[in-house]
Amino acid sequence: MRCRRPQPAPLALMLAAMIAVPVASQAQEKTLGTVVITGSRIEVSPFDVPYSVEGVQLNENGTEGLRVNVSEVLSGVPGVVVQNRQNYAQDLQISVRGFGARAAFGVRGVKLIADGIPASTPDGQGQAATFNLDTAERIEVLRGPFATIYGNHAGGVIQLFSRDGKGTPRVRGGLFGGDHGTLKIDIGAEGEKNGIGYVLDASHFETDGERRYSAVERDQGFAKITLAPDTDSKLTLIASGLRQPDTEDPLGITWDTYQRDETDVETVALQFRTRKSIEHMQGGAVYERRFGEDRLQVQAYAGQRSVIQYQSIPTGPQTPITHPGGIIAFDRDFHGVGARWIAQRTLGPGKLTVTTGLDYDRSEDDRQGYQNFIGTTLGVKGALRRDETDTVTSLDPYVQASWQQGKWDWTLGLRHSNVEFEVDDHFIVGANGDDSGSVRYRKTTPAIGVLYRVTPLLNIYASAGTGFETPTLGELSYSPAGGFNFGLKPSTSRQFELGLKAYTGESTRINAAVFQINTDDEIVVAGAAGGRTTYANAGKTLRQGLELAAETEFSRNLSARGALTVMRAEYDEAFVTGSGASATTIPKGNRIPGVPAVSAYAELAWKPVAGLTTAIETVYRSKVEVNDLNSDRAAPAYTLVNLRLGAEQQSGPWTFSQLLRLDNLFDRKHIGSVIVGDRNGRYYEPGPGRNVYGGVRATYRF
């Protein structure tokens, strides 16, 4: 039996139990702290910084899940909503404090970084699929005002750090499988030999998907080499690749289709065989050298990404020569360099750390558009309808300073973002004129934070800053009058945050924060015609919220952790979208679509014996609006319960681990994510029902 609107009571009780512990005496020690590398680019504890940051540790032989998507590991981070669309043609949907929820594909509004190298292009668009979780050591999520020190985005920063090759050389292999033809095979090697550390990994993933027409095959490779040219320097070389051919795109579905059969697909997806192919390769180098207490860090990277996407745009609207077609194809070359100098000085009773740096990033797309039909045959590459070179560059200097004295820590940051878009149109045929042009966006974004140590186990902090988010290349691509929408403005925000970080007892940690974000010129959907969506700037928006993260160890064998986000996200003034007869007024007070008011996660883990871990996970999402007018059916609230079992054994040089997961234990029917503002009413992307999967991994140490 399915339950459509379950209640979050069990989850709320668990969270309440975790925070109902008084702050312990100053003599007790912190046992749950982790070391992170965050806004100042130096190693610090998240307990001692005046902003919200959470780290998720991943073990080499961990048994959390398949490690295919970051949605598997970020559920316990407050302020973050990561939704697996069950559509690998469109990647994950990630939002941080409400930013990024509007993205129809990929990740926008949130900066993605892997091993210090951007996984987001200069326009703010990123692809979380390039993250390799098999080799990840930890993932950090930075939220709030100091995220703006990383440049063109507004919501936050998600950084992945892979393991360094250390210890005895070893090889490993894993085999995992589950419902709907799900299969993952991975092999790898890592360790250190003659002072050279290495991590190598290759994996193959495939699934037929829970929904009809949602099959995918994905191959990934990763290599990391770590060298020490001398005692004061370190050189890291990184290469990665991803190949995902002919990934089926089931699109969203209407409410009526969802009610009838949530695993179904709209006919138009089958008619046009909507699909996407991706090939992505990149390499980079990071060099660090110490000069006494100071250090120099330099990084460089380059790569290539090729994409062809077959869409479901009807043939009729594509008749005019001015229509860009129903197929998007591009070959992207991208590269960048970054350098920073980190100086640390002890000055009297305090310690000063100053970081100054410069980031340069560039991407160039050789982009074409084609009709998605030939005669009456649909879903094939037809006549050329778009041919251009799109270039985006950014050059951003920044400085950040931290002053520690006694019980007080002060942090200041400043970044000047300079982002330029340039279009060179090569398809000038008949009525289709020259759409070449350029636009430049500039913004200086300051941030300030202060932390006060009430006791060795309790810190309180406050921070404030401004945010800057340019339109993405996709949002600039179309305007109601045709051609590029160079009149679209960037959105700017003012962000404020108050928080506390506390240890209670010897084994309980609590982080809590309240925040407010006021945004001007929010980028919203203006209209859609002929299968093309145009964007405009709305008025003011308001985001206010509470975030809570807690974890505790009740005993050596029993632990719990949880996260809660309560957020009010709404338009703070009315605005008009569309034009002419299709003009619509969005009233003040409407909720921003795609953002749940309440998002929560709780986990209770039990280790009955050494080498065996069991856990129950609970996930709750409140209802989500699907358009600015809040007029169509909102995606209902849901609660999911998952179970997992992990085991590990050692025998001589061998280590064996096993995983068994049962997701959506009660087979709840739910909508996992929404496509905001879809003008065909195909807003809804259903989440999976009950799923079982598991597997084994073996490691051999030489």
pLDDT digits over 181-192, tens only?
Answer: 999 999 999 999
Give the pairing of strands 52-57 and 43-44: unpaired
* Residue 191 within any structural domain of the chain: yes
Rounded Cα–Cα distance for residues 187 and 184 (Å)? 10
Q: Which of 368, 311, 307, 366 is nearest to 333 (CA)?
A: 366
Give first-to-last CA distance, the chain, whole Å: 52
Q: How confident is the model at residue 32 (pLDDT cuts 50, 70, 90)?
A: low
pLDDT attached to residue 154: 66
Angle made by CA atoms 324, 326, 327, in degrees to the nearest 5: 95
169 φ/ψ angles, rounded to the nearest 5 degrees:
-55, 140
- Residues β-bridged to residue 66: none
Q: Minimum mean pLDDT among 4-18, 343-357, 572-586, 629-643: which range?
A: 4-18
Q: Which amino acid is at 253?
A: I
Give the mean pLDDT of the chain.
90
Q: Minimum mean pLDDT among 148-152, 174-178, 316-320: which range?
A: 148-152
Q: Which amino acid is at 239?
A: A
H/E/C letters for each residue in 624-649? ECCCCCCCCCCECCEEEEEEEEEEEE
* Residue 4 within any structural domain of the chain: no
* Residue 173 within any structural domain of the chain: yes
Give the pairing of strands 508-520 and 384-405: unpaired
pLDDT attached to residue 525: 79
Q: Tens digits of per-residue pLDDT, 85-116?
A: 889 998 888 999 999 888 777 788 899 999 98
Q: How confident is the model at residue 422 (pLDDT cuts 50, 70, 90)?
A: very high
pLDDT attached to residue 368: 96
pLDDT above 50 for 330: yes
pLDDT attached to residue 581: 72
pLDDT above 90 for 483: no
pLDDT above 50 for 440: yes
Average pLDDT over residues 552-581: 91
Which uninterrupted H or E stretch holds 613? Answer: strand 612-621
Q: How confident is the model at residue 4 (pLDDT cuts 50, 70, 90)?
A: very low
**Can you read off the two tokens belonging to residue 551?**
């974890």
Average pLDDT over residues 12-16: 42
Residue given tokens 């992945």 in the structure block:
160
pLDDT attached to residue 22: 40
Eight-class DSSP state of 255 = H
pLDDT attached to residue 531: 67
pLDDT above 90 for 46: no
pLDDT above 70 for 317: yes
Q: How confident is the model at residue 34 (pLDDT cuts 50, 70, 90)?
A: low
Average pLDDT over residues 284-312: 95
What is the count of structural domains for the chain? 1
Q: Minimum mean pLDDT among 313-317, 477-481, 611-615: which range?
A: 477-481
Q: Minimum mean pLDDT among 225-229, 321-325, 497-501: which range?
A: 321-325
Other CB atoms within 10 Å distance of the CB of residue 227: 14
* Residue 1 within any structural domain of the chain: no
| Residues with Cβ within 8 Å of residue 260, at least 6 apart in sequence | none
Q: How confident is the model at residue 37 (pLDDT cuts 50, 70, 90)?
A: low
Average pLDDT over residues 289-307: 95
| Residues with Cβ within 8 Å of residue 684, at least 6 apart in sequence | 252, 253, 254, 255, 258, 626, 635, 671, 674, 675
Rounded Cα–Cα distance for residues 368 and 383 (Å)? 11
pLDDT attached to residue 655: 95
* Residue 2 within any structural domain of the chain: no
| Residues with Cβ within 8 Å of residue 225, at least 6 apart in sequence | 165, 196, 197, 198, 236, 237, 238
* Residue 194 within any structural domain of the chain: yes
Q: How confident is the model at residue 18 (pLDDT cuts 50, 70, 90)?
A: very low
Higher pLDDT, 303 or 349: 303
49 φ/ψ angles, rounded to the nearest 5 degrees:
-125, 145
pLDDT above 60 for 248: yes
Max mean pLDDT range (96-110, 421-435, 467-481, 531-545): 421-435
pLDDT attached to residue 13: 40
Rounded Cα–Cα distance for residues 269 and 260 (Å)? 17
Burial of 122 per CB tally in 10 Å (0-12, 13-18, 19+): buried
| Residues with Cβ within 8 Å of residue 219, at least 6 apart in sequence | 202, 203, 204, 205, 241, 242, 243, 244
Asked if 161 and 137 touch (Cβ cutoff 8 Å), the reply is yes
Share of residues in the chain with pLDDT > 90 (%):
74
* Residue 552 within any structural domain of the chain: yes
CATH number at residue 400: 2.40.170.20
What CA–CA distances, in Å, run from 274 to 244, 315, 355, 360, 648? 14, 14, 47, 36, 42
Q: Which amino acid is at 87?
A: N
Asked if 68 and 216 touch (Cβ cutoff 8 Å), the reply is no
Q: Tens digits of per-residue pLDDT, 113-168?
A: 999 899 999 998 888 899 999 999 999 999 999 998 888 876 799 999 999 999 99
pLDDT above 50 for 333: yes
Contacts 24+ apart (CB under 8 A), 40-45: 40/342, 40/353, 40/355, 40/400, 40/402, 40/411, 41/297, 41/340, 41/342, 41/355, 41/357, 41/400, 42/342, 42/344, 42/353, 42/355
Burial of 539 per CB tally in 10 Å (0-12, 13-18, 19+): middle
Give the pairing of strands 156-162 and 110-114: parallel
Rounded Cα–Cα distance for residues 366 and 302 (Å)? 16
Which uninterrupted H or E stretch holds 664? Answer: none
| Residues with Cβ within 8 Å of residue 283, at least 6 apart in sequence | 237, 238, 239, 240, 301, 302, 303
Which uninterrupted H or E stretch holds 11? Answer: helix 9-19
Eight-class DSSP state of 67 = -
Average pLDDT over residues 459-465: 97
pLDDT attached to residue 28: 42
Q: Using the Cα atoms of residue 12, residue 15, residue 21 and residue 26 in order, give the sign of their dihedral.
A: negative
pTM confidence score:
0.92
Share of residues in the chain with pLDDT > 70 (%):
93
* Residue 128 within any structural domain of the chain: yes
pLDDT above 80 for 370: yes
Eight-class DSSP state of 687 = P
Please, how many CA atoms are within 13 Å of residue 192, restricted to the half-sphere of its CB?
11
pLDDT attached to residue 9: 42
Residue range(s) defining the domain that contains residue 588 = 9-701
pLDDT above 50 for 25: no
pLDDT attached to residue 530: 67
Average pLDDT over residues 533-537: 84
What CA–CA distances, in Å, run from 456 to 50, 165, 399, 503? 15, 35, 29, 9
Q: How confident is the model at residue 38 (pLDDT cuts 50, 70, 90)?
A: low
Angle made by CA atoms 413, 419, 422, in degrees to the nearest 5: 175
Rounded Cα–Cα distance for residues 519 and 539 (Å)? 8
